[in-house]
């Protein structure tokens, strides 16, 4: 069968040429006579894979030398606990809650100290980003936390919050490598890779070195201390070898595509095709205020639950997968990550126009 257009929010679409490369190397990785799935993480072949992956990521993001790149398991959700366990030195942190994942991180942090919700967009179902230019940042806060792109609700911070000198920690799971970032503006930037970079099962953390120390909360498990990963080049235990290998291939694919500037232009063009249609449609409408729209996740509705359900069913039959919206928003959501080709978005809009004509 032919490949579908996969609009899943994660695990999500991967570049076809990356999948083909991995397919070609599945049984014999570069003359080793084995798959990367089978090889020792202590082998020379794998050491080259992880070293090259880190080098390419540093190159793509222009990561400063005083930041560590850590490949960790447990996904972004484990970071909700690891961050306060490692960084809540004064038992206080400020959280900006703009969606379900920031809310979960905020709730988890409450187990380890005082987590202050200093701004939120909960009043309008997280359909906008609150003004973060002059927030009540706590004087003794250890950090300010955001989820930069909200996968479920389709919002994105276009400007980073004014943290008034406090360290900024950002979950960038669903916008990772979608556009250039200035890493030096963050104390820590991290994300699960299963949305824009690789298969599920890993999170990449980029952390300023001065934050990584043995001074963590009493009882913090060895595998939940950033120092464990930093001191052992992410190989204190067996890492997610195959995921690192696949991420490395995606980093190289992004380089071939022209890097993060080119990727941003590609993503802006794709998003414009869909948003432009939503803005003039008589049936469909976006759920996010225009100035805060994500380039990666586009939620939309018809305003009629039965019609939404009909659209999801018919779109699936037409080869468009995973367009059903999250239960908290309803309707539909198209996740159009880096690897979604322009053709996929154009075909989706064609289908939406046809559906509108037939059902108005």
Report the pLDDT value the prediction gives residue 240, as an integer from 0 to 100: 97
Q: In angstroms, rounded to a whole number, what is the distance separating the alpha carbons of residues 127 and 287?
A: 6
* pLDDT band at 2; cut points 50, 70, 90: confident
What is the mean predicted confidence (pLDDT) over 187-195? 98
Q: Taking 90 as the threshold, does the pLDDT of residue 177 lie above it? A: yes
Report the pLDDT value the prediction gives residue 1, as an integer from 0 to 100: 58
Place of tokens 């894979």: 49
Half-sphere exposure of 24 (CA within 13 A, CB side): 8
Q: Taking 90 as the threshold, does the pLDDT of residue 154 lie above it? A: yes
Report the pLDDT value the prediction gives residue 329, as an integer from 0 to 100: 86
pLDDT mean across residues, the chain = 97
Q: Taking 80 as the threshold, does the pLDDT of residue 89 lie above it? A: yes
Q: Taking 90 as the threshold, does the pLDDT of residue 287 lie above it? A: yes
User: Backbone phi, then psi, for 297, in 5-degree steps?
Assistant: -130, 120
What DSSP string runs through 133-185?
Answer: SS----TT-S-EEEESEETTTTEE-SS----TTPPEEEE-TTTTTSS---GGG
Report the pLDDT value the prediction gives residue 66, as an integer from 0 to 100: 98
* pLDDT band at 328; cut points 50, 70, 90: confident
What is the mean predicted confidence (pLDDT) over 167-179? 98
What is the mean predicted confidence (pLDDT) over 177-181? 98
* pLDDT band at 176; cut points 50, 70, 90: very high
What is the mean predicted confidence (pLDDT) over 262-266? 98
pLDDT tens by residue, 116-150: 999 999 999 999 999 999 999 999 999 999 999 99
Name residue 95's beta-bridge partners.
117, 145
Distance of CA 161 to the CA centre of its chain: 19
Q: Which positions are catalytic? A: 101, 171, 195
What is the mean predicted confidence (pLDDT) over 45-69? 98
Q: In angstroms, rounded to a whole number, what is the distance separating the alpha carbons of residues 4 and 178?
A: 22
């Amino acid at each position: 069968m032919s490949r579908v257009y996969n609009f899943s929010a994660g695990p999500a679409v991967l570049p076809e040429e990356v999948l083909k490369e991995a397919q070609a190397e599945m049984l014999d990785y570069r003359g080793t006579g084995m798959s990367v799935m089978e090889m020792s993480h202590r082998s020379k072949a794998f050491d080259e894979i992880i070293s090259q992956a880190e080098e390419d990521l540093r190159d793509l993001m222009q990561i400063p030398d005083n930041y560590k790149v850590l490949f960790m398991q447990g996904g972004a959700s484990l970071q909700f606990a690891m961050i306060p366990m490692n960084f809540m030195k004064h038992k206080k942190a400020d959280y900006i809650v703009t969606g379900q994942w920031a809310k979960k991180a905020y709730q988890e942090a409450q187990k380890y100290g005082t987590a202050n919700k200093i701004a939120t967009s909960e009043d309008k179902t997280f359909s906008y980003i609150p003004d973060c230019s002059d927030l009540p940042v706590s004087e003794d806060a250890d950090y300010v936390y955001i989820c930069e792109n909200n996968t479920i609700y389709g919002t994105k911070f276009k400007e980073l919050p004014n943290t008034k000198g406090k360290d900024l920690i950002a979950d960038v799971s669903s916008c990772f490598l979608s556009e250039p970032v200035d890493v030096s503006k963050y104390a820590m930037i991290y994300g699960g890779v299963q949305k824009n970079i690789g298969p599920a099962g890993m999170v990449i953390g980029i952390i300023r070195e001065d934050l990584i120390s043995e001074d963590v909360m009493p009882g913090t498990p060895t595998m939940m201390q950033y120092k464990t990963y930093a001191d052992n080049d992410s190989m204190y235990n067996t890492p997610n070898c195959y995921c690192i290998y696949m991420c490395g291939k995606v980093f190289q694919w992004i380089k071939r595509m022209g890097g993060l500037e080119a990727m941003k232009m590609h993503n802006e063009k794709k998003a414009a095709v869909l948003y432009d249609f939503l803005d003039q449609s008589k049936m469909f409408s976006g759920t996010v205020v225009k100035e805060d729209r994500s380039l990666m996740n586009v939620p939309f509705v018809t305003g009629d639950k039965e019609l939404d359900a009909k659209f999801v069913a018919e779109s699936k039959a037409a080869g468009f997968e995973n367009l059903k919206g999250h239960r908290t928003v309803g309707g539909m959501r198209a996740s159009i990550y880096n690897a979604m080709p322009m053709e996929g978005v154009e075909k989706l809009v064609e289908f939406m126009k046809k559906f509108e004509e037939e059902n108005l």
